[in-house]
Structure 1
Amino acid sequence: MTKLRATLLTPLSGSLAPFGQACATGLLLWAQHASQLPTPWTGVELAIQDIGSSRGAQMDASIRAALNTRPDVLFGPYGSNTMLAAARATQQVIWNHGGATSQLAHPTFPHVINILSPASTYFVGVLQAVRTSDPDAETVSLFHSNSGFGKDIARGAIQAANDLKFALQAIPFEPRHARETTTRIPQAHILLVAGNFEDELAVAPILLRRPWRAAAFVGAGVEEVLAPLGTRREGLLGPAQWLASAAPIPDEGPDANWFITHYRKVANADGDPPYPAVQAFAAGLLAARTLYTTGSLDDTDLLTAAAQLTCTTLYGAFQLDPHSGLQSGHQILIVQWQQGKRRVVWPPQQAEATLQSGSKGLSH
């Protein structure tokens, strides 16, 4: 019996621990119940290495310790900074299911296989949806952190605003210093906010006193991040990598209903699985698919197979951009909080509700 030795690097401690644990549970579910490997492999032996949430010597040591075991397949961690650290530490093929930064692209990182949509696309659908539903909207205030993640989101939003003929003004802020910068934000028809979740939650009560036609926060796409706002979250837009209610019918691996049922049993939890779990599970499915194509663990063969692969898992479409290596098949969902629930309003083919804008769209 030949077991496929897989290693997941993930933060199980620190601020990213809840997301890292979701990744671990999702990948364990794949390894134990859905690996479906070609011969000669009979199953998966999954090792999970806690690398913490903060860059530094301890994280680097944890990554080196995991790499020294020479796993057959390597899965990266949740978080853009942690994923960048992992990708810099090895030239082995690494499956990226948790780092949305567009920095993980060719030619710097030719060994990274990107599964999730890049952060640069997070607000593109917001502006497309508003342009379609509110053609008179003209101006955008973009409030973003000057971290790598915030700048990444801002670059995509600026390009989309230009393409859609919006007049955009960008106001950067230092992480953990967002509150004192809010006075610099000009009034506009549309508000876009991109920062760490703590900063977004800190500025939301201040900014939502203003009469925006539409307002979007990165954290609004996640179930729990802006929950302390209560009813003030109503009408907010946000990007979501995955939502159970909008999951596609897969041609690779089990469907969303199978995953939800089994995840609840494994995690001993109610409700829909968090998106990092789905992303990690999809990474396992896609890694197995490339093994079917190659029949070997040679890095060059695996990268070639991934570059040529087009399929759909319960997470969404998979296709890599041939030039950048970034994910181009999977599309970000734009959700809006309506009557206390996230409803998909963009793209149109997956929309569950119509975007509400203006005074009826935001609760002040």
Structure 2
Amino acid sequence: MRAVLVTPLSGPLAEYGRSGATALTLWAQEFVAPDRVSLEVVDAHPDVRRAARRAEDLRPELFLGPYGSRPAADVTATTRRLVWNHGGAQVPPRTNVVSILAAADTYFAGTVEMIRRGFPGVRTVGVLHGPTGFARGVAAGATERAQRHGLEVREAVLPAAPPRADALLVAARFDEELALARTVDRAGLWVLGFVAAGVREVLAELGDAREGLVGPAQWLPEAAPEPDEGPTAASFVAAYRARAGVEPPYPAAQAFAAGLVALRCLRSAGSADDVALRAEARRLTCTTLFGPFRVDESGRQLGHQVLTVQWQDGRRVVVWPPERANAAPR
């Protein structure tokens, strides 16, 4: 069985794309018999559409998409093949997509719920976002959830200044978020959230200034559920560390889970036909080390839930949802 992964191995997203490629290499060579799965990786940079067409020409049974919402959207628009999307949180609904990760509009949903439950003094929520589709999706989800709970939302688009509010949520490019985290006035803020705060390495140069920041995390190994499909998080982390010499970041877990789910559907369907695979994916409910899997008719992920983390005493802890939290929000 041949699988192909189209993902950035060079360019600005290369670090995340390479981690996904490493994880899927592990999936093919160590967790699935290598004589059963052949994995080929195509660099999506600098021309993702050309890369998608090259991947099509390889005639794989499984077509795995790239890291990044824009590359993922471009791949799914270019090919008619069923794309197992593990790296694009903001991908337009299409009949040829099965998404593994939670959608962008859910990123700050847990943060808003945490604010409502834990910080009743918050009356206004500022939402500052960049112009990209991903940032707009995150902001739209935060705004809808806050307004649903009767909170006043004050929205602004970069390069505008952050709106004054009791809590501030920011979704932009990681470099923009880092610059804002250095300069934003925290006085009077009950909660300050950045998408980048959920990613261990992005705000590292802030040092102690990360303390108290809140953010969404697609995956943390210490908060991973017990899987009924594939290995445990501990087994995956150990194998990834042995191969790469570092801890696996969240894109690696997402990519690995895509391989597990896609292969499960291939076994159930008994065929590599994309229509049959899509039908199996829509029927499937399971739990991998990444979390629950369940999609709707459009391929949007419904089972997986984004965690809300906060930097406390120099480390990320889970503060929402309550059933998976290992600390209370500060």
**Structure 1 match to 2:182:** 205
What is the percent sequence identity of the aligned residues? 46
- Work out which of the residue numbers 318, 328, 331 in structure 1 matches 2:293: 318
**Structure 1 match to 2:328:** 354
**Structure 2 match to 1:104:** 92
SS in 1 for 2:37: strand
**Structure 2 match to 1:360:** none
- Work out which of the residue numbers 32, 43, 49 in structure 1 matches 2:36: 43
**Structure 2 match to 1:277:** 252
Contact 1:193 1:218 in 2 (8 A): yes
What TM-score do the two structures reach when normalised by structure 1? Answer: 0.88
Q: What are the Cα deviations for residues 14-49 of structure 1, in whole angstroms up to 9, with x where unaligned?
A: 11000000000010010011126xxxx951110000
- Find the aligned partners of 1:66 and 1:158 in 2 and give their Cα distance: 38
Q: What are the Cα deviations for residues 321-357 of structure 1, in whole angstroms up to 9, with x where unaligned?
A: 23x421010000000000000000001110010000x
Moved over 3 A (4+): none
RMSD across aligned positions (CA): 1.3
* Residue 106 of structure 2 is aligned to residue 131 of structure 1: no
Q: What are the Cα deviations for residues 164-206 of structure 1, in whole angstroms up to 9, with x where unaligned?
A: 1110011012xxxx3xx22xx3321100000010110111122
* Residue 191 of structure 2 is aligned to residue 231 of structure 1: no
In structure 1, runs of 5+ residues without a counterpart are 357-364
**Structure 2 match to 1:14:** 11
- Find the aligned partners of 2:282 and 2:68 in 1 and give their Cα distance: 23
- Find the aligned partners of 1:329 and 1:59 in 2 and give their Cα distance: 29
Contact 2:127 2:163 in 1 (8 A): no
Q: What are the Cα deviations for residues 243-290 of structure 1, in whole angstroms up to 9, with x where unaligned?
A: 0110100000100111011111111x13x3101111111011101110
Q: What are the Cα deviations for residues 275-318 of structure 1, in whole angstroms up to 9, with x where unaligned?
A: 11111110111011101211111111111100000000000000
Contact 1:104 1:112 in 2 (8 A): no
Contact 2:191 2:213 in 1 (8 A): yes
Contact 2:129 2:171 in 1 (8 A): yes
Contact 1:35 1:288 in 2 (8 A): no
What TM-score do the two structures reach when normalised by structure 2? Answer: 0.97
SS in 2 for 1:43: coil
| CA deviation after TM superposition for structure 1 residue 208, in Å | 4.0
Supply the AA of the counterpart residue of 2:204: A
- Stretch of structure 1 that moved more, 147-156 or 15-24: 147-156
* Residue 327 of structure 2 is aligned to residue 342 of structure 1: no
- Find the aligned partners of 1:59 and 1:82 in 2 and give their Cα distance: 6
**Structure 1 match to 2:31:** 34
Contact 1:104 1:326 in 2 (8 A): no
Supply the AA of the counterpart residue of 2:39: L
Q: How many aligned residue pairs are there? A: 330
**Structure 2 match to 1:119:** 104
In structure 2, runs of 5+ residues without a counterpart are none
Contact 2:48 2:75 in 1 (8 A): no
**Cα distance, 1:343–1:31 mapped onto 2, change above 3 Å:** same
| CA deviation after TM superposition for structure 1 residue 209, in Å | 4.1
- Find the aligned partners of 1:62 and 1:84 in 2 and give their Cα distance: 13
**Structure 2 match to 1:161:** 146
- Work out which of the residue numbers 80, 88, 97 in structure 1 matches 2:77: 88
Contact 2:154 2:165 in 1 (8 A): no
Supply the AA of the counterpart residue of 1:68: D
